[in-house]
């Protein structure tokens, strides 16, 4: 069996009554890969995880592990272990008893259980805590116990259902590093459900972004961050600033027409599949520069200049964040120093930080296409809005 398709989800439909949550979804995961299922509440990511685990039965489609069809098998026969958001530890049991619980159910001898539990306690930084009850542990320690219980049965696949959401921010940073490092050390296949973009970026080998029961885009953290396949993905990956533009594409460039809010610009297409007409452009607050507009500022090559006025500035730390009025829109832009309220400015976005997509307001007679930084994924854009 090829490692490329160690875990395969094939054309799975999952729903309740007439409502389908997952819609002919397919996904292939390599052996030893760490995949994050990322999306907002209700997108289907937890439904997908529970379907893989065996707690949801698909209406159609199949789940295969190493070539073995497990679609109709119960959770305990699939070679998987699930770490819950709530930890789900037995409060009356000690750390050692919680970790060894699955081994006890499997009929393993006491000596073998004790040896395996001790090994995992050392591995997870829980040495010396074996006789404590969960109530005597910190949130991070309880999460490690839950992880130890999952790993004790030596699963082929580790499923993580938002396991860090109950931890405070400081502990979460440490535990997500611990889980990622442990997964790589053990070479285990892991699927992690999260709504936290940064968590997915730092932990996963591949991110699968879900929207309305479909896969909107998947790729390495760098790919989905720098080459979003649709406006939805761009917004979810932090490019929440959006402006409407008009332009014409051809000759490897897209010419942005001047308007009351922007200067003319010639930008490289860089593989984008744009047609002439109306565009939706997105960018991140940290991806733009803020310049004083004294009337002599000239547009830069390979960048888009927006014309605006500062409405407010705040200091979240490390940089100043400005609210800038551009036409009818208010955009967020970072700068190393504060600009004054009411100051005329230019928001300059380098081409590599600007994500441009064909708008629904395209020119009449033109076919609707997806707009990408990489060609060939227009179908993903269409699917994300299905």
Give yes or no: residues 42 and 184 share one domain: yes
The domain that holds 81 is classified in CATH as 3.40.50.300
Give yes or no: residues 139 and 239 share one domain: no
Calpha distance 123→367 (Å, rounded) = 57
The DSSP H or E segment spanning 378 is helix 378-384
For residue 132, give the 3-state DSSP assignment.
Answer: coil
Give yes or no: residues 118 and 236 share one domain: no
Which residue, 226, 258, 275, sits at the end of a domain?
226
- Look at residue 319 in the predicted model and tell me its pLDDT: 96
Calpha distance 17→19 (Å, rounded) = 6
Residue the block writes with tokens 């308007």: 259
- Look at residue 102 in the predicted model and tell me its pLDDT: 87
Number of compact structural domains in the chain:
2
Tell me the pLDDT tens digit for each residue of 21-52: 999 999 999 999 999 999 998 899 999 999 99
Residue 225, both tokens: 């961050």
Quote the pTM value. 0.84
Give yes or no: residues 191 and 325 share one domain: no
Give yes or no: residues 217 and 69 share one domain: yes
- 87 phi, psi to nearest 5 deg: 75, -45
The contacts of residue 130 (CB under 8 Å, 6+ apart) are 94, 95, 96, 117, 118, 121
Give yes or no: residues 76 and 179 share one domain: yes
The DSSP H or E segment spanning 116 is helix 110-123
The domain that holds 356 is classified in CATH as 2.40.50.140
Give yes or no: residues 28 and 136 share one domain: yes
CB atoms within 10 A of CB 240: 14
For residue 182, give the 3-state DSSP assignment.
Answer: helix
Give yes or no: residues 222 and 270 share one domain: no
For the chain, what percentages of helix, strand and coil (3-state, to nearest 5) are there?
A: 25, 35, 40
User: Is the Cβ–Cβ distance between 326 and 349 less than 8 Å?
Assistant: no
The contacts of residue 177 (CB under 8 Å, 6+ apart) are 202
Which residue, 184, 206, 226, sits at the end of a domain?
226
CB atoms within 10 A of CB 127: 10
Give yes or no: residues 40 and 111 share one domain: yes
Give yes or no: residues 158 and 304 share one domain: no
Which residue, 210, 226, 242, sits at the end of a domain?
226
Give yes or no: residues 8 and 39 share one domain: yes
- Look at residue 378 in the predicted model and tell me its pLDDT: 30
Give yes or no: residues 170 and 32 share one domain: yes
- Look at residue 4 in the predicted model and tell me its pLDDT: 67
Regions of the chain with pLDDT less than 50: 1, 361-386
Calpha distance 354→372 (Å, rounded) = 11
Domain with 31 in it = 3-226
Across the beta sheet with 241-250, what order do the strands follow? 265-268, 253-256, 241-250, 277-283, 355-358
């Amino acid at each position: 069996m090829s490692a490329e398709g160690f875990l395969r989800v094939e054309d799975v439909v999952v729903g309740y009554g007439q409502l389908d949550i997952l819609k002919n979804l397919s996904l292939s995961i390599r052996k030893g890969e760490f995949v994050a299922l990322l999306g907002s509440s209700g997108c289907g990511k937890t439904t997908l995880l529970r379907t893989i685990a065996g707690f949801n039965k698909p209406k159609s489609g199949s789940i295969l592990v190493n070539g073995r069809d497990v679609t109709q098998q119960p959770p305990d026969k699939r070679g998987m272990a699930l770490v819950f958001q709530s930890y789900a530890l037995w409060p009356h049991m000690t750390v050692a008893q919680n970790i060894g619980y699955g081994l006890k159910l499997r009929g393993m001898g006491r000596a073998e259980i004790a040896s395996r539990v001790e090994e995992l306690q050392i591995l997870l930084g829980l040495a010396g805590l074996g006789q404590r009850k969960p109530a005597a542990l910190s949130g991070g320690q309880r999460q490690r116990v839950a992880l130890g219980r999952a790993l004790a049965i030596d699963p082929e696949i580790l499923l993580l259902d938002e396991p860090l959401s109950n931890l405070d921010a400081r502990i979460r940073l440490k535990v997500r590093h611990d889980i990622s490092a442990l997964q790589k050390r053990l070479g285990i296949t892991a699927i992690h459900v999260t709504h936290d973009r940064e968590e997915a970026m730092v932990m996963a080998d591949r991110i699968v972004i879900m929207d309305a029961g479909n896969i909107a885009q998947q790729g390495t953290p760098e790919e989905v961050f720098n080459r979003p396949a649709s406006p939805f993905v761009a917004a979810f990956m932090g490019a929440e600033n959006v402006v409407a533009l008009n332009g014409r594409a051809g000759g490897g460039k897209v010419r942005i027409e001047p308007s009351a809010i922007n200067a003319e610009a010639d930008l490289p297409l860089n593989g984008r599949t744009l047609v002439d007409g109306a565009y939706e452009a997105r960018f991140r607050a940290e991806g733009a520069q803020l310049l004083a507009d004294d009337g002599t500022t000239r547009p830069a090559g390979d960048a888009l200049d927006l014309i605006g006025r500062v409405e407010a500035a705040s200091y979240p730390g490390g940089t100043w964040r400005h609210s800038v009025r551009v036409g009818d829109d208010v955009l967020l832009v970072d700068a190393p120093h504060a600009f004054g309220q009411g100051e005329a400015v230019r928001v300059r976005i380098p081409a590599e930080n600007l994500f441009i997509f064909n708008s629904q307001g395209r020119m009449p007679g033109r076919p609707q296409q997806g707009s990408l930084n990489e060609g060939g994924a227009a179908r993903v854009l269409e699917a994300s809005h299905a």
